[in-house]
Structures are given as C-alpha cells and as structure tokens.
Structure 1
C-alpha cells in the first residue's frame, strides 16, 4: 500500500467522521491479531486521521489491547488450534522454551527488537507457561518504543519534504533494530540447537 492509498484511506476515514475514527482505531486493534498489512501502514493512516501524537496513542493502546486479546483468546479457547498452528514453526517452538522461564524480559525485548512477528509472540506465549502478568507488562513496555517509531515513520513517509532528516534517523534506528533482532534470533534460537 503506497502513499496514495494511505492518504486515500485516511481521507475516507476522515470523511466518515466519528465512525471513521473508530475504524482507524479498530485497524490498529485487529492488525496484531490478523497481520493483513504492515503495522507501519496502519500507523500512517492513524497519524493522518488523528494527528501525530494522538495517532501514536491510538496505535499504541489499540495494538497492546489487540495483542492481549489474541493472547487471552488463544490461551483460553484456542490452545489446541494454536499448538497445531505453530507446530511447524521451529523457531517459535525454540523461542517458547526461552520465554517460559523469563517471560517479562523476553516478551519486552522481543517487542522492542523484531525477533519474531507480533502474532507469533502472542500465540507462542499463550500455549506456554508464560504468566499472564509477564505477557501483559512485557507487551505494554516493549510495544511503546516500536509503535512510537512506526508512527513517526508512517507520518514522515507521508510528509517527506518536511521531515527528511527525522525520517532517515527513524529508518536508521529501525534497520539497526532489525539487525540486532537478527543477531538475537541466532543467539536465542541457535543456542537451543547446541543444548
């Protein structure tokens, strides 16, 4: 989805008034549960609809609630389905062994550093013995910097002429986190293969 489409969606939501704002918030809630598009696109739509800072708050609150909802549903109603779904994902299985004993730390770090997609963290944590409070607190703490970053990137991509330097800085941070996430993934998941 390119700039025109993001602009078009945000204009459409604006035209719908309160219902459009509700749908924008709903997009941020649903995306962690059903990752139908990159979150940075949803973030871009919402910062256009709500403004940068209110858009960030909407993105953050709704993404956290979406992640917690997916975790809760998977743990209480879909455990067998989730276990079957992730059975073929070796990296999620290995990551689960790590987060079982240090839930808060691993959930927080994996939210900040892209090691595994958000839905994988939500589903994986749901079928392990990660304490609910560890998951909730780790999600609240860990999602804050990443969603702030994605909201800025989504905003600045659409206002490139006015925010070139900040966009380059934010993209640099994002690339750096991806690189660190790749190293962490090899360390966390690779170490399990040697034990």
Structure 2
C-alpha cells in the first residue's frame, strides 16, 4: 500500500513540475518581474494555486530560493495576507517532508543521508542537546535547507506535536527575517521600524519561553 501511495505522490509531483516548469525556471532565475508584469494581472488570487504547492515542493526538494515566493506574496497580497500565505505554504511543506521521510520513503531518506551525512549528523546532535528550540533557530536561518531540518527531525525520536510547533514558529521567524531583508521591494518606510521591532519582540519571547522550559526541566 505504501509503495502505491508513494508512486502516486511521485507521479503527481512530476506532473505538477512539468506543468509549471516555466514558472520554476523564472523562480530559479529570481525573475520577479515575470510575475509582477505578466502573471498576477491574469490570475489574481489564483496565483496561490501554484505558489502554495510550489512552496510545498520547495520544502521537499529544493529547486529554487523560497525567498522569491515570499516576496511575491508580500508584493501581491500585502503584509498580513502575504505573511499568512507564506507561513501556511512553508509550514505545510515542512510537515509534508517530515511525513514522507518518516512514513514512506526509506530509500529516499537513505540517499539523502548519504549525500548529507555530516550535516544531518550535526543537526541530530543539536536536536539531542537542545530539543525543539534548535529546530526553530535552524529554520530561522535563511540559508539552511528546510528539507535537511525536516529529515533530521524525522529520523530523530522527536514526536509529531513538538515538530509541528517547531515548524510553525521556525517558518514564522524565517519569513519575518526574509521579508525584512527584502523590505525595500515591498514595504513602506513608515511600516519598517514597527515591523522590525515586532520581530525582535517575537524572537525574545520564543527564546525566553524555551529557555524557561529548559531551566524548569533541569530543576
């Protein structure tokens, strides 16, 4: 049953990539003008039918920088909707990769492990030492591959519920950071400082929460 399910998922993934290959090429080239000038006026919110699955695909197999999709969401839908759509897409992608690695594709995990053994072993040691908080921190780092984090978590003893929270908070932090770094492309000057201060408060709150839990566990 698992083999059939995996085969269906693989075929669906291949078909989706083939149908949207032109978009993927422009995403790999970080060609935002293609979408701003040619695509959005035609499809509007229908854009999400492509960008959301692309975010899931990107979290499983890295084909292009996720930054360009996040900028598109903020540019087209504004701060609140852009953030929300990006968070939903990246979190679903992280959960999908974790689910695939833990439930179905042992061969894929073995091949991925063979190519990334040193980095995966390092992440596993961090998870063993610092728990869920380190997953939040790692996802906050824009250059850290999402699938590496998800697969390391999947092969660890980590339970599903804390992983979901780590994916949610980590992707929230990552989107916030990337949208701040790309702020000149989409944000008004009078909004930037409140947006930056909000992220600082968020980061200290999350860090304080997990630090407090760690102290309580040691007592």
Length-normalised TM-score, structure 2: 0.64
CA contact (8 A) 2:142 2:174 kept: no
Quote the residue 2:32 is aligned against: 6
User: Contact (CA 8 Å) 2:73, 2:86: kept in 1 or not?
Assistant: yes
Work out which of the residue numbers 102, 110, 113 in structure 1 matches 2:138.
Answer: 110
Structure 1's 54 and 76: CA in aligned 2 closer, same or farther, altered over 3 A?
Answer: same
Q: CA deviation at 1:44?
A: 0.9
Match of 1:147 among 169, 175, 194: 175
Inter-partner Cα distance in structure 1 for 2:44 and 2:34: 15
Q: Deviations over 1:158-193 (max 9, x none)?
A: 248x549949x97xx9xxxxxxxxxxxxxxxxxxxx
Q: More deviation in 68-77 or 81-90?
A: 81-90
Superposition CA RMSD, Å: 2.9
Structure 2: gaps (5+ residues): 1-28, 200-219
Output the CA distance in 2 between the equivalents of 1:99 and 1:108.
11
The two structures have a TM-score, normalised by structure 1, of 0.71
The separation in 1 between residues aligned to 2:136 and 2:45, in whole angstroms, is 33
Residues 93-130 of structure 1 deviation map (CA, whole Å, 9 limit, x = unaligned):
22213314643122122122457421100112112222
**Partner residue, 1:133:** 161
Structure 1 regions of 5+ residues with no counterpart? Answer: 174-195
Q: State which of 105, 119, 144 in structure 1 corresponds to 2:147.
A: 119
- Secondary structure of 1:37's counterpart equals coil
State the alpha-carbon separation in 2 of the partners of residues 13 and 165 from structure 1: 24
Q: Which one has a bigger Cα radius of gyration?
A: 2
Q: Using CA pairs below 8 Å that are at least 6 residues apart, which structure has the higher relative contact order?
A: 1
The alpha carbon displacement at 1:14 in A equals 3.6
CA distance in 1, matches of 2:44, 2:56: 19
Instruction: Tell me how many residue pairs correspond in the alignment.
Output: 166
Deviation at 1:33, TM superposition (A): 1.9
Distance 1:165 1:141, change over 3 A: closer
1:49 maps to 2:92: no
Alpha-carbon offset, residue 76 of structure 1 = 0.2
- Structure 2 counterpart SS, 1:91: helix
**Does 2:133 correspond to 1:98?**
no
